[in-house]
A and B are shown apart, each in its own frame.
Chain A
Amino acid sequence: MLLNMGPSHPAMHGTIRIMLELDGERILNSEVEVGYLHRGFEKTCEQRTFFNLLPYTDRLNYVSPLINNLAYVMTLEKMLGLEIPERAQYIRVIMSELSRISDHLTCLAAMAMECGAFTVFLYKMKAREFIWDVIEYTTGARMTTSYIRIGGVRADFHPDYQESLTKAIAETRKVLQDVHGLLDKNKIFLNRTRDVALMPAEEALSWGWTGPCLRSTGVYYDVRKAHPYLVYDRLAFEVPLGERGDNFDRYMVRMKEMEQSLRIIEQAMKKIPETSHRVMSEGIEPVQAIKASRRKKPKERIELSPNLEGSEKEVYKDIMNPDRRFVVPPKEDTYTSIEGLINHFKFFMKGHGIRPPQGEVYFSVEGGNGELGFYIVSDGTDNPYRLHLRAPCFHVVSALERLIKGRYVADVIPTFGSMNMIGGELDR
């Protein structure tokens, strides 16, 4: 019998279609069809400037947009040779670990729910809310953050971030403990995941698997350890490994990874350098400043409305590289001095802006799903000549046909769930 699963199916995390050839409940053959969410990401990026295409990267893996931002931005920084301030590096680490946790939580929550564990789903969504609170306080958005910018990050942490972050860590720990208790020895869950969809290590490498899926087969490869970026080499963490590479191992590796991520965040919170500025300081109003500047440039700090983007000039030195060629100047400068205004226009004018040297570069970070890499070809102008994304779940999902062959229809669900297929990233 031929059976279509998807493209719109409650257990398909995105729009993906699996055509199954069945003999009773057993899958003889299958074909996976992707591309329902293809939006021409790479083509679109070729038409945008390096600065303008950042919001598109949010929409790749929409559960962990901060890591996508990071991968793109760091690829470009490698090309430009930009150094970023230490505080910004720690902020980036904390943000990408938070994203990783939210990514894993979402994946496992959906996987557990599809196996019938609705409680686990709700618990994990609860933990994710606390994490997204921290992200929202700082970046101003829950999902489409565009927070990590070329040369640094968009804004410093929210003044009370430590409180909300500590709370998020504590709540997540509690949820993880609860979930371990609910699932680890749960007969129903074990029956559907233990020894289902086994993947040997050799084969996983041949499929190009990376991230938690590869580590579940026992291969020690984590981009954070293999090619340390940011300040990961100064933080102690372990890389959890699985043994058999079945669905349960993929679940377990993700669970353990979240604990390691929490550990990283805690260390980073202690090690992060203090800001050199006072968070809320008194200054003069822009109108007064402009009036005063007719005679002499005012020495006082100019206070802009906190709602206005980039009103914290003093914060910039902690979180942004000062190189004017690559970074948007603080808004105070743009509004009150001619140099700042010229700077601003030079940055945003077509054909000016960020122009990396000619050549091509590949850089990757450890995303929620595995090695998230960007390959950028620059021809010396302000938009990329070619931009290619190495989407980790593209490689993982391509092995789905092989994994479900010979299994029952019911096994498709947890297998597919454990892969963490994200449509935005898979189809680009």
Chain B
Amino acid sequence: MEEKKILEELAQRFPKSIKETSSLFGDETLVIERDFLLELARFLKNKPYEYTMLLDLTCVDYLGQEPRFEMVYHLFSLPANRRLRIKVRLKENDLAIDSLTSLWKNANWLEREVFDLFGVHFRGHPDLKRIFMYDGFEGFPLRKDYPLRKRQPRIPLRK
């Protein structure tokens, strides 16, 4: 019950920026405007909510839908012992979002992972480069239009 209240409170506080709230399967979810992410994250990180941990950050590719991409953030509040999911929808032709590296340090690698596998650009990221794939890899493997068995061209040996 208490969790419901938080969603309502937030929706009332930021009626313009929060587009949807839901709690499917018991997971509290907010869908927000793209440019509101950093502000909301900063607000949630401090009191009274204290979502001090960025549990996870990932992206989903809804090929064929508009907007195509969806960023998914999972926050965790240690004092209140509750999780919160924030979703931001991104258009394919403007695939950029604010980086959370200024708030959470693990956002650095997590965002690099999403950049590597989905090609999302993070504004304000200090060192945005591939993490799992090698330099010179073409394409973004976790996108739905990347074929499962696609071969990559050989990269020349370094001298």
Contact = CB atoms under 8 A, between A and B. Distances in A.
Interface of A: 34-35, 38, 40, 42-44, 47, 78-79, 203, 205-208, 219, 221, 226-227, 359-362, 364, 371, 373, 375, 377, 385-386, 388, 390, 394-395, 398-399, 402, 427-428
Given A205-B52, A385-B60, A38 B106 contact: no
Nearest to B117: A42
Contacts of A364: 55
Nearest to B106: A208
Interface residues of B, number: 35
A38 B105 contact: no
A35 B27 contact: no
Where chain B touches its partner, the secondary structure class is mixed
A424 B85 CA distance: 26
B38 interface: no
B44 interface: no
B99 interface: no
A208 B72 contact: no
6 smallest A-B Cβ distances: which pairs? A208-B106, A35-B132, A398-B109, A38-B132, A390-B56, A388-B58
A206 B106 contact: yes
A205 B78 contact: yes
Given A226-B81, A375-B72, A386-B61, A208 B104 contact: yes
With most chain B CB atoms within 10 A of its CB, the pick from A38, A227, A402 is A38
A388 B56 contact: yes
With most chain B CB atoms within 10 A of its CB, the pick from A35, A44, A208, A377 is A208
A335 B108 CA distance: 54
Contacts of A79: 25
A350 to B, nearest CB: 16
Nearest to B24: A359
A40 B113 CA distance: 12
A368 B85 CA distance: 24
Nearest to A428: B132
A34 B148 CA distance: 22
B133 interface: yes
Contacts of A375: 56, 58, 72, 74
Interface of B: 24-27, 52-56, 58, 60-61, 72, 74, 78, 81, 83, 85, 104-106, 108-110, 113, 117, 130-134, 141-142, 146, 148
A47 B148 contact: yes
18 contacts: A35-B132, A35-B133, A47-B148, A208-B53, A208-B106, A208-B110, A362-B83, A362-B85, A373-B56, A375-B74, A377-B60, A386-B60, A388-B56, A388-B72, A390-B56, A394-B109, A394-B110, A398-B108
A206 B53 CA distance: 6
With most chain A CB atoms within 10 A of its CB, the pick from B25, B55, B58 is B25
Given A361-B25, A371-B55, A206 B72 contact: no
A208 B27 CA distance: 20
Contacts of A390: 55-56, 74
Given A35-B132, A360-B24, A427-B132, A219 B104 contact: no
Nearest to A227: B81
A184 B58 CA distance: 41
Nearest to B133: A35
A221 to B, nearest CB: 6
A362 B142 contact: no
Nearest to B25: A361
A399 B148 contact: no
A208 B132 contact: no
Contacts of A388: 56, 58, 72
